Amino acid sequence: MRQPLTVRPGEKVRLKDFDPDYTGGIKNKKKAREELEENIRRLSELGYRLYAENRRSLLLVLQGMDTAGKDGTIRHVMKGFNPQSCQVTSFKQPGIEELNHDFLWRIARAVPRKGNIGIFNRSHYEDVLVVRVHNLAPKREWQTRYDRINLFEKMLVAGGTTIVKIFLHIGKDEQRKRLQSRLDDATKLWKFSRADLAERQYWDEYQKAYEAALTLCNTDEAPWYIVPANRKWFRNLSISRILCKTLEKMDPRYPPPEKGLEGIVVE
């Protein structure tokens, strides 16, 4: 049975209905990697055209539990983009200045400018995920944020930013394996934190928080994609396909050249 990557706006998302091990029936990982490399080359071309056009922008939002592959996605899928026109913003625990503003203030400052591609490693959704799970704000406050996020994203889209929101869906046992691999590998030990184990204890609460965000903030303007993330190669391939399809639909064009260039010979 084919597993969808999206649900229609208005439908309730139940993560138990999405298998994090799903690979779309693809068994040949070599061919999958070959397609990924071809997609990366295509993304490079489309990203260059978007930069040259300089009229619109693309925002990729990556969310997921710890070890779901946000960093890996950026490293393996986005490598074809020109660093000059592609910026990554990692949203960590907000500082004093950020806490003295509305929760969307720091997000708005990082939105990609025209011609550029912005990547959010975590995002404004932390304010209806971590904040909700750990009671960092009153319920009456974070409950209003779903509508405020929708209005914010609708405003961005109206201004020419196409938003691609990816939830990296990893299973609890797969997360355990990846955390253990960090402990067992000296080159990955720096990535491990005791805080990861503490957050793991809230797994069920995070699943409920994600289901709410995926349901309430899944709009026609900015839909969510639920990407199975237990198999890293399939995760990367799926996201490369989504980005190719998105940019091809945007169809960025090179701007017309200056008039009167015909026949000029540079000496």
Q: Which two tokens stand for residue 189?
A: 């030990």
Domain that holds residue 162: 28-250
Residue 78 belongs to a domain: yes
Residue 96 belongs to a domain: yes
Q: Which of 254, 237, 234 is nearest to 245 (CA)?
A: 237
- Structural contact between residues 259 and 26, judged by C-beta atoms closer than 8 angstroms: no
User: What element of type H or E holds 167?
Assistant: strand 161-169
The string over 137-172, giving b where at least 16 C-beta atoms fall within 10 Å of a residue's C-beta and e elsewhere, is beeeebeebbeebbebbeebbeeebbbbbbbbbbbe
Q: What pLDDT is stored for residue 1 in this prediction?
A: 53
Tens digit of pLDDT at every position of the chain (267 positions): 578 899 999 999 999 999 999 998 898 899 999 999 999 999 999 999 999 999 999 999 999 999 999 999 999 999 999 999 999 999 999 999 999 999 999 999 999 999 999 999 999 999 999 999 999 999 999 999 999 999 999 999 999 999 999 999 999 999 999 999 999 999 999 989 899 999 999 999 999 999 999 999 999 999 999 999 999 999 999 999 999 999 999 999 999 988 988 889 998
Residue 112 belongs to a domain: yes
Residue 6 belongs to a domain: no
- Where would I find the beta strands (DSSP E) of 13-106? 57-64, 86-90
CA distance 36 to 26: 13
CA distance 225 to 93: 25
Residue 133 belongs to a domain: yes
Instruction: Give the count of domains, the chain.
Output: 1
Which of the 8 DSSP states describes residue 94? -
Residue 258 belongs to a domain: no
Q: What is the CATH number of the domain that holds 107?
A: 3.40.50.300
Residue 20 belongs to a domain: no
Residue 16 belongs to a domain: no
Phi, psi of 166 (to 5 degrees): -115, 120
